[in-house]
Amino acid sequence: MVTADGHSAPAAVQVRQTAMRSHRCGDPRLADAGETVTVCGWVAHRRQHGQSLQFIDLRDYSGVIQCVVDGTVDVRSEYVLKITGLVTERPEGTVNEALATGQVELRDCKVEVLSVAKPPPFPLDDRADNVDESTRLTFRYLDLRRERMQRNLRIRSTVLAAIRTALSPLGFVEVETPLLMPSTPEGAREFIVPSRQFPGSFYALPQSPQLFKQLLMVGGADRYFQFARCLRDEDLRADRQYEFTQLDLEMSFVDQQDVLDVITSAVLAATEAITGGPVPPVETMTWQHAMDRYGVDKPDLRFGMELVELTEVFAGSGFKAFAGVGAVKGIRVPGGSASHNRKALDTLTDTAKKLGAKGLVWMRVGAAGALESPVAKFLSEAELAGIVEKTEAREGDLLLLVADEWTTACEVLGQLRNSLGRPPAGEGGFRFVWVVDFPQFVGIDKETGRPKPGHHPFTRPHPDDLDKLETEPLQVRSRAYDLVLNGWELGSGSIRIHEPELQQRIFDLIGISREEADRRFGFFLTPFGYGAPPHGGFAFGIDRLVASLAGEENIREVIAFPKTQSGLDPLTGAPTRVDERQLKELGVRVVAAVPPA
């Protein structure tokens, strides 16, 4: 990649050219016709054409090129070849519009077999999507050759680069925090690592770099970020792995909007790097608004069907189920009347009850706003008209109403809204939204009578609500915020408490004495006594963001080497038994063994 005169070739050449090839398989175009090129790659398809010729589709990550090769060359699927040939315009009628290289082919080919290959256990194209995942993971090195997986790998890499490029000019310092951490009983279950130097003692792998990111602020780092590798020993499912990567970020001398602005510019840069075009601006809404209108704290804005407030309509209703309850709310399913027969409605009602509602009221909207419903006869004309007006119901719609505690009404309808309207991954564009002003406390602990913290107890209360902390704790908003994409919570953050006095006030409220605080959080509170700056930060999961941008439902599709849902790596066989001698050095012994299946 250094030219004869010692200068570097331009990037476009450097990206494709090596000692073994002049072009990548996906590079040749009609404009290159007449040029002799050398490509290297894997045999994707092979078609014999009489005795004398064969067509070979040679594949690398950049694409596929058709090569016309002597029919006697012994070549099979997934052999690795080096082919030198003349870029030639394809004969009329044989152009393949689906391929970027489809207007040309290589002729007069010289073929060198670089590696032979056994037949792959499954076809390395879209048909592999239906192969059992455990097989795909056992042969991940073959699965990764597929266009879909190469694309996902590149999308992930592009997202990381775009975010770094967005943060880099803003004064952030990238810091790698330790993987060998102290064990903390707080939070999720952690992985531990026995120490050989001190047998019987253990490090813990980081669930997040929360401690260190805040210490960096106390240490004057001002603005920190890291793509942090984090691990949690929790049961796995489609959107969770033991290991995950989060964009971890913290800033000093800021308020909430400063943090939101930085993250907003980072995720928009990442999204535009993938979509290639402008993305809708990131909205901001309060938690109260999100619950009121979407019934969840992670609203999916790709579709309407918002929750409608109907409490006022039934303020003086004679229908007891609707009057004097906390709230009556409804959603309108456009055109849903015909698509929901009685059985479907019963299922929805069951779902609502399972979610905690006392019941679900359905109404079919007929001509001229007539409402057909089991409860219609209990409602006044004015109430019926009020429903139609507030929900903007039209003929053929289906209305679903819940009357209950405000929280229950919101949550049940929010779940129904999602299950009835949510588009699949990859559809409906990318709708980011900040949810802010989360409650500082999420209820009163029945045993202790004390408020329960909504986030961790270091989250800063909203400055306007400080005087309500002791008197009306459930009315206190916090400086906590979530970033939501298409109904997925990407991550969360907060402005932190930096003053020991305010921190102790919160601890007092939730029933943590000074002694208990020192014992549990001393590693945190001691540094803050030496002069902590006001600061706040954010962390969000890269796996979920990348999956969304790649149109994948399952984060395992955007992780190069994921574990199965039971935590196995079918490729390497991890986890495994280890040497007794090694365990002895660490001062531990296995006392119960369940071998991996």
Among 4, 5, 7, 19, the residue binding a second copy under the rule CB under 8 A is: 19
Contact call for residue 502 and a second copy (CB under 8 A): no
Q: Is 5 annotated as a binding residue?
A: no
Q: Strands 63-70 and 53-60: what pairing? A: antiparallel
What is the C-alpha to C-alpha distance for residues 293 and 435, in angstroms, rounded to an integer?
Answer: 12
Contact call for residue 595 and a second copy (CB under 8 A): yes
Contact call for residue 361 and a second copy (CB under 8 A): no
8 A C-beta contact, residue 63 and residue 39: no
Integer angstrom CA distances of residue 586 from 182, 574, 578: 17, 20, 12
Among 93, 220, 276, 278, the residue binding a second copy under the rule CB under 8 A is: 220
What is the C-alpha to C-alpha distance for residues 510 and 203, in angstroms, rounded to an integer?
Answer: 30
Contact call for residue 596 and a second copy (CB under 8 A): yes
Contact call for residue 459 and a second copy (CB under 8 A): no
Contact call for residue 196 and a second copy (CB under 8 A): yes
Q: Which of 158, 164, 318, 141 is nearest to 227 (CA)?
A: 164
Q: Is 234 annotated as a binding residue?
A: yes
Among 30, 33, 73, 80, the residue binding a second copy under the rule CB under 8 A is: 80
- Structure tokens that stand for 252 in this block: 């000093």
Binding segment (CB under 8 A) for a second copy, from list 219-227, 272-280, 333-341, 464-472: 219-227
Please state the closest distance from residue 593 (CB atom) to a second copy, in A: 3
Per DSSP (E only), the strands in 298-423 are: 308-309, 327-333, 361-365, 371-372, 398-404
Contact call for residue 195 and a second copy (CB under 8 A): yes
Burial class of residue 235 in the structure, from the number of CB atoms within 10 Å of its CB (0-12 exposed, 13-18 middle, 19+ buried): exposed
Q: Which is nearer to a second copy, 158 or 407 (CB)?
A: 158
Q: Which is nearer to a second copy, 487 or 562 (CB)?
A: 562
Binding segment (CB under 8 A) for a second copy, from list 156-164, 318-326, 389-397, 402-410: 156-164
Q: Which residues within the stretch 468-487 sit at the binding site for a second copy (CB under 8 A)?
A: none
* Element holding 12 (H helix, E strand): helix 11-14
Return the HEC string of 283-310: EEEEHHHHHHHHCCCCCCCCCCCCCEEC
Please state the closest distance from residue 252 (CB atom) to a second copy, in A: 8
Binding segment (CB under 8 A) for a second copy, from list 89-97, 192-200, 271-279, 393-401: 192-200
Please state the closest distance from residue 153 (CB atom) to a second copy, in A: 5
Contact call for residue 5 and a second copy (CB under 8 A): no
Q: Is 105 annotated as a binding residue?
A: no
Contact call for residue 180 and a second copy (CB under 8 A): yes
Contact call for residue 212 and a second copy (CB under 8 A): yes
Please state the closest distance from residue 402 (CB atom) to a second copy, in A: 38
Instruction: Tell me the HSE value of 4 on the side-chain side, using a 13 A CA sphere.
Output: 0
The residue behind tokens 């002694």 is: 515
Among 329, 340, 498, 556, the residue binding a second copy under the rule CB under 8 A is: 498
The letter for the amino acid at 549 is L
What is the torsion angle, in degrees rounded to the nearest 10, for the CA atoms of residue 522, residue 525, residue 530 and residue 536? 140
Q: Which residues within the stretch 263-282 sit at the binding site for a second copy (CB under 8 A)?
A: 265
Among 68, 75, 79, 332, the residue binding a second copy under the rule CB under 8 A is: 79
DSSP state of 240: B
Among 131, 193, 321, 355, the residue binding a second copy under the rule CB under 8 A is: 193
Q: Which is nearer to a second copy, 115 or 471 (CB)?
A: 115
Binding segment (CB under 8 A) for a second copy, from list 177-185, 377-385, 403-411, 508-516: 177-185
8 A C-beta contact, residue 311 and residue 387: no
Distance of CA 464 to the CA centre of its chain: 33
8 A C-beta contact, residue 255 and residue 233: no
Among 46, 110, 148, 154, the residue binding a second copy under the rule CB under 8 A is: 154
- Find the helix packing angle between 542-550 and 256-275, rounded to 10°: 40
Per DSSP (E only), the strands in 427-468 are: 432-436, 441-444, 451-453
What is the C-alpha to C-alpha distance for residues 125 and 131, in angstroms, rounded to an integer?
Answer: 11
Contact call for residue 367 and a second copy (CB under 8 A): no
Contact call for residue 252 and a second copy (CB under 8 A): yes
Strand order in the sheet with 327-333: 308-309, 327-333, 398-404, 361-365, 371-372
Contact call for residue 78 and a second copy (CB under 8 A): yes
Contact call for residue 7 and a second copy (CB under 8 A): no
Among 30, 99, 204, 279, the residue binding a second copy under the rule CB under 8 A is: 204
Q: Which residues within the stretch 103-142 sit at the binding site for a second copy (CB under 8 A)?
A: 114-118, 120, 139-142
Question: From the annotation, which residues make up the binding site for L-aspartate?
Answer: 186, 232, 455, 496
Question: From the annotation, which residues make up the binding site for ATP?
Answer: 232-234, 241, 489, 541-544
